[in-house]
Amino acid sequence: MAAARLAAVTTAYYSPRPQLTDPAYSNLLRRAEVQTLEAAGLGRALAPLFTRDYVQRVTVAEYDTDTVERRTIARRSTPDGTRADYLPSEEFAARVALVVTDLPDPSPATSPGLTRAVRDSRALAAFGARSPWVRDVARTVAAELPHLADVGATLYRDGEPERPAAGWTPERRREYDRGRRVPRDASEQAALWLTRWREVTAPGAHPAPEVFRRYVAAAERLGVDRVGRNQFYKLAEEVLGPRKRRAAGPVFVVPEEVAPMDRTQRRNLAALIVDRLTEEWRTAALDGLAELVAEHQAEKTAVGPVAPAIGTRGQVVDLAAHRARRRVA
């Protein structure tokens, strides 16, 4: 039955020529030309396979300069669906990956690119939640799930119904506000974004243009000023280390283990990075100015003093009239 439902869903998905990603290097498959199905489109196509058994709950939280939607996923476990047991996002992504590994081949009449993308997608799905592409697919599937409140279900964690979160007391709100500080400028906001991205991104090599694209998208979504590409790369090299050269282009490498930081530590690190780079740029600018002044002085010494130009538009003094006024005086 499950295989029949998957076959029906994918047949409908394949028929209008689904979107494919551009070929890129994959650290998991260790191949430079890996092409996958577009994650959002595939996730929306697979969502009907999960909407009967899984639900979501969305809460909104402020996180430094960003507003984050936190999605909790749960599996309905009673016949009437009134109980839903909490499911970690990694486990849900692993279940989505199992479905992706069973994707059937498209019909022989489809393009070779689609056939190749299906095979590469299944190969990445074999890595489960370790694959960033699988996690993107799972996030799209999760966004299509029915909401917990809409189906009248109660969320359970560790076998117990979840209690509502405690309200914010005035003291707790003041403490939170004291701990927040708006970044000084776009550079510090970019450095802060990079420190967060480093913590939540899967280990491996990430194409530098793709990292910049994600940053630009986040800045546009939040309506904040952003830095240019070259300045962003300078900041990224301070946070992530120097770019590495790969066959497909420059990449930033996220190590296997990244120590998490709290909000204050992230802000302090971002400020330190910007201060260091600002000092380097200021020193470079002063050195450049000194060189320009030295070159100008050398040119003046070589040419010698320049006689003032005489033009018809300059101020003219009538010497005869001047002498006459002196005699009268």
| Whether pLDDT at 310 is above 70 | no
How much of the chain exceeds pLDDT 90, in percent? Answer: 34
| Tokens (6 digits) for 90 | 């990694």
How many C-beta atoms lie closer than 10 Å to residue 159's C-beta?
6
- Close Cβ partners of 71 (under 8 Å, ≥ 6 residues apart): 56, 57, 58, 89, 139, 142, 143
pLDDT band at 80 (very low <50, low <70, confident <90, very high): confident
Q: Alpha helices of 15-157 — where are they, by DSSP H?
A: 39-46, 89-101, 112-125, 132-143
Residue 257 — left, alpha, or beta (φ > 0 → left; ψ -120 to 50 → alpha)?
A: beta
Phi, psi of 146 (to 5 degrees): -65, 155
CA distances 1 to 42, 106, 322, Å, are: 20, 19, 114
How many C-beta atoms lie closer than 10 Å to residue 240's C-beta?
23
On whether the CB atoms of residues 46 and 54 are closer than 8 A, the answer is: no
Lookup result for tokens 């409140």: 149
Computed over every residue of the chain, the mean pLDDT equals 79
Distance in angstroms (rounded) separating the CA atoms of residues 301 and 205: 55
pLDDT band at 108 (very low <50, low <70, confident <90, very high): confident
Tell me the one-letter amino acid at 215. Y
| Whether pLDDT at 135 is above 80 | yes
pLDDT tens column, 272-304: 777 777 766 556 555 555 555 566 566 656 655
pLDDT value at residue 106: 92
Lookup result for tokens 């499911």: 87
Can you list the positions of beta strands (E) in the chain?
A: 24-26, 31-34, 54-63, 66-76, 83-87, 154-157, 160-161, 204-207, 244-246, 249-254
Phi, psi of 250 (to 5 degrees): -70, 145
Distance in angstroms (rounded) separating the CA atoms of residues 37 and 137: 10
- As a whole number, mean pLDDT of residues 142-163 equals 88
Distance in angstroms (rounded) separating the CA atoms of residues 277 and 233: 12
- As a whole number, mean pLDDT of residues 161-178 equals 61
pLDDT value at residue 167: 56
3-state SS class at 150: coil
**CA-based R_g, the chain, Å:** 31
On whether the CB atoms of residues 136 and 40 are closer than 8 A, the answer is: yes
- As a whole number, mean pLDDT of residues 151-163 equals 87
pLDDT tens column, 42-58: 999 999 999 999 999 88
CA distances 110 to 139, 166, 315, Å, are: 27, 55, 85
Distance in angstroms (rounded) separating the CA atoms of residues 206 and 34: 14
pLDDT value at residue 42: 95
pTM greater than 0.95? no
pLDDT value at residue 41: 93
pLDDT tens column, 193-223: 888 888 878 788 899 999 999 888 887 776 6
Q: Dihedral, CA atoms, 4, 5, 11, 14, nearest 10 degrees?
A: -130
pLDDT value at residue 300: 59
